[in-house]
Structure 1
Amino acid sequence: MIYFDNSATTKVDDDVLNTYQKVSENYWGNPSSLHNFGEKSFNLLQQSRKQIADILGVQPAEIYFTSGGTEGDNWVVKGTAMAKREYGKHIITTSIEHAAVKNSAAALESLGFDVTYLPVDAEGRVSAKDLEAAIRPDTILVSIMAVNNEVGSIQPLDEVAEVLKKYPKIHFHVDAVQGMAKGIHDLIFNDRVDFVTFSGHKFHAPRGIGFIYGKNGRKLSPLMDGGGQERGQRSGTENLPAIVGMSKAVRIIKDNEAKSIAEEQAIREKIYNHISQFDKVEVFSQLNDHFAPHILCFAITGVKGETIVHAFEKEGIYISTTSACSSKKGVTSGTLDAMGIPQEVAKSAVRVSLGDHNKLSEADEFNKVFDKLYDQFKKLS
């Protein structure tokens, strides 16, 4: 089996899984309990928080644990709206955000907020000039993803940050779910960035766990009220085994970041150089610094994306249509539409997404299977 669907989810690392099991077996006390057994769980929770913070170069008090990327995005977008609604009701995001941000913004629109969706260019990137032109006196939030989950375009967060330095009261949120250990740490953790969202299952941690970075001094209203965990910001008994496992996953993937990026780039380049030679192939992810190393989006025109996915599946290769969250709904790519790709072409789009477990030899096998399937599709058309 060749698994090229890592942007949808990754396999839990064996060491992470072992950690999860050991914590489940030995530290089941509630971190909020007063007794010594609960105190041990609390100390382990705080150690995990500190490890993640140290690796990312932030303060432990700036790390808040969540259930994943969707909750994190909802919390920052809606939490900003609730915390700052007396100062304004205007939000700026992009036309290519993940549904967790887009749908949160749409929900706020139904409550009377005004949302501006920035356009993107042919590479799927926003313009800092467009952002500056969209800012109003009542703007309270700018939310821009680090890496697009469909085509892999990296947003110019440094240019956006320069614009927002002139507007220090506006919250700046970055959805970095696709950005962990992809060589863009300095872009994500620019001094002007206020909030960053991460999801553990994108980097070999268990599902159902994630975290946000929230800069000290920046306030969000909590989405969930209850026992006051996470310093009163995110109530609910902490998922300690998953948190400790995630902290280990962060350490492992960051320790191996340079090697993993080089391998992913080599695999991606080998596939790109091969498939781009074919007449009916359109590639939307380019081999330049504007794109992340692990995502390659392309189309075989005239063939539906789901047909391509299932054809590769029969050969033991797992890829996806452009977004796992919308693939079963038959929804065409919102990113490709925003990039000006005709719908007839966009409905043929598929995504190869790589991880640090993939090997260059898998690119050779993919290319062989591609040749076989391309000939079959050509005969059918």
Structure 2
Amino acid sequence: MIYFDNSATTKAHKDIIDTFVLVNEKYWANPASIHEFGHQTNELLQTARTQVADVIKTAKEKVYFTSGGTESNNLAIFGLANKYKHRGNHVLISAIEHPSVLESAKELQLQGFNVEFIPVNKEGFISLDSIQSLLRPDTVLVSVMHVNNETGAIQPINEIATLIKSKSRAVFHMDAVQSFGKLVVNFEEQQVDAITISSHKIHGLKGSGVLVLKGSTEITPILYGGGQEFGVRSGTTSVPLAVCTAKTIRLANSNLEKNSMIMKSMTDDIVTFLQTFSSIKIISPEIRAPHIVSFSVRGVKGEVFINGLQKEDVIVSTSSACSSKQTKTSHVLKAMHLEDDYIKGVIRLSFSHLNSEEEVQQFKKIFTKVMNVIKGD
């Protein structure tokens, strides 16, 4: 099987799985317990927290372990908006965010916040002119994803941050689920206030991730109970998942440059190959993450190609995994004003450093075969 759907999820590294089993076997005490076993388990938890903080360049008290990207994004949107609502009630969200951000923003509207959505251009990039015109003195929160999960477009985060600081006191949240492990992500590189990371996108375990805050940034909890995670996320912390999350983040960060080069080489090769077909339009912009190539076949539904490739043991996606089983058109493609001839035929290839050049060459042969059957090209 050739697996080119790594933006949906990645295969967990064996050493991450081994670590999860080991910690479950040796450190299964509740880290909040006052006995020595609980203390030892808590020390392991705090070591994991420190390791994440060191990578992201913040204090360990600003690292909150969560169940993954969706929870981290919900915590960021609700927690930051409510924490700083004394500054105003205006919230800006980009039009191409993940549903975990968009749906949270819509709920904020029901709670009385004035939420506006930042448009993007035809390449999927945030319009800096639009964000400048939308920013107000009472803007309290801006949320923009670093890399779009459907197109791979890399947003101009620091340019946006400069605009935010010039016109408001808003906190800036960046969803880095698709960028961490492919691009440098930390509070020194990006001038943001909050970062979301998900483990299973970088060869870690599902059901785990982090929300990390910068410096003096504070947040209001959305879960209440025993006050775990510094009172921000109540509930007994899964130490095995936290340890594995920290290890996954460290591994992805330490091999970042090498892995990114591997993925970029493969996706560049794929783009060159796809451009030879007259009926194919490359959706991903030139300024894209190294692991994603999105394209469309004119006049053919993406599902047709998905099924054709799957019969040849090639696994790809139509768009984001969250919406690929739904019949509605992607909100990202709508925001980009993609032409009707192409909007239903979008296919996303997403790579891992574990993919190989041999798989790329095999994909070319298989895709050409499928293309000839479906389109006669």
What TM-score, normalized to structure 1? 0.96
- Tell me the CA shift for residue 318 of structure 1: 0.6
Matched, 1:350 2:350: no
In the TM superposition, 1:183-332 aligns within 5 A as 183-185=183-185, 189-190=188-189, 192-286=191-285, 288=286, 290-332=287-329
Contact 1:165 1:192 in 2 (8 A): no
Q: Could you list the per-position Cα deviations for residues 172-218 of structure 1 after superposition, in whole angstroms to 9, with x for gaps in the alignment?
A: 000000011212436x6546311011111111111111001112322
Contact 1:172 1:193 in 2 (8 A): yes
- Tell me the CA shift for residue 335 of structure 1: 1.3
- Paired AA for residue 270 in structure 2: I
Contact 1:68 1:211 in 2 (8 A): yes
2:182 match: secondary structure: coil
Q: How many residues align?
A: 377
**CA–CA separation in structure 2 for the residues paired with 1:203 and 1:183:** 12
- Tell me the CA shift for residue 72 of structure 1: 0.8
Q: Which position in structure 1 is the counterpart of 2:37?
A: 37
Contact 1:161 1:190 in 2 (8 A): no
1:64 match: secondary structure: strand
**RMSD across aligned positions (CA):** 1.5
1:10 match: secondary structure: coil
- Paired AA for residue 264 in structure 2: Q
- Paired AA for residue 327 in structure 2: G
Q: Could you list the per-position Cα deviations for residues 7-57 of structure 1 after superposition, in whole angstroms to 9, with x for gaps in the alignment?
A: 000111101000000001111100000001111110000001111111232
- Tell me the CA shift for residue 58 of structure 1: 2.2
1:185 match: secondary structure: coil
**CA–CA separation in structure 2 for the residues paired with 1:114 and 1:159:** 23
**CA–CA separation in structure 2 for the residues paired with 1:295 and 1:285:** 8
- Tell me the CA shift for residue 63 of structure 1: 1.0
In the TM superposition, 1:10-25 aligns within 5 A as 10-25=10-25
User: Unmatched 5+ residue regions in structure 2?
Assistant: none
Contact 1:337 1:343 in 2 (8 A): no
Of residues 241-250 and 31-40 in structure 1, the stretch that sits farther from structure 2 once superposed is: 241-250
Contact 2:204 2:248 in 1 (8 A): yes
1:216 match: secondary structure: coil
Q: Could you list the per-position Cα deviations for residues 217-261 of structure 1 after superposition, in whole angstroms to 9, with x for gaps in the alignment?
A: 222110000100011111011111111111111121112111111
- Tell me the CA shift for residue 122 of structure 1: 1.8
**CA–CA separation in structure 2 for the residues paired with 1:340 and 1:191:** 28
Contact 2:308 2:370 in 1 (8 A): yes
In the TM superposition, 1:58-73 aligns within 5 A as 58-73=58-73
Q: Which position in structure 2 is the counterpart of 1:367?
A: 364
Contact 2:135 2:168 in 1 (8 A): no
- Tell me the CA shift for residue 340 of structure 1: 1.3
Identity over aligned pairs, percent? 40
- Paired AA for residue 145 in structure 1: M
- Paired AA for residue 309 in structure 2: F
What TM-score, normalized to structure 2? 0.97
Contact 1:61 1:216 in 2 (8 A): no
**CA–CA separation in structure 1 for the residues paired with 2:317 and 2:15:** 27
Contact 2:137 2:167 in 1 (8 A): no
**CA–CA separation in structure 1 for the residues paired with 2:56 and 2:217:** 18
**CA–CA separation in structure 2 for the residues paired with 1:270 and 1:221:** 46
Q: Which position in structure 2 is the counterpart of 1:95?
A: 95
In the TM superposition, 1:115-154 aligns within 5 A as 115-154=115-154
Contact 2:157 2:190 in 1 (8 A): no
1:279 match: secondary structure: coil
Q: Could you list the per-position Cα deviations for residues 263-314 of structure 1 after superposition, in whole angstroms to 9, with x for gaps in the alignment?
A: 101110111111111011111113x3x2100000011112211111111111
**CA–CA separation in structure 1 for the residues paired with 2:276 and 2:78:** 45
Q: Which position in structure 1 is the counterpart of 2:159?
A: 159
Of residues 189-198 and 214-223 in structure 1, the stretch that sits farther from structure 2 once superposed is: 189-198
Contact 2:137 2:169 in 1 (8 A): no
Distance 1:104 1:339, change over 3 A: same
Contact 2:58 2:213 in 1 (8 A): no
- Paired AA for residue 358 in structure 1: N
User: Unmatched 5+ residue regions in structure 1?
Assistant: none
Q: Which position in structure 2 is the counterpart of 1:174?
A: 174
- Tell me the CA shift for residue 164 of structure 1: 2.0
**CA–CA separation in structure 2 for the residues paired with 1:331 and 1:315:** 27
1:213 match: secondary structure: strand
Distance 1:237 1:58, change over 3 A: same
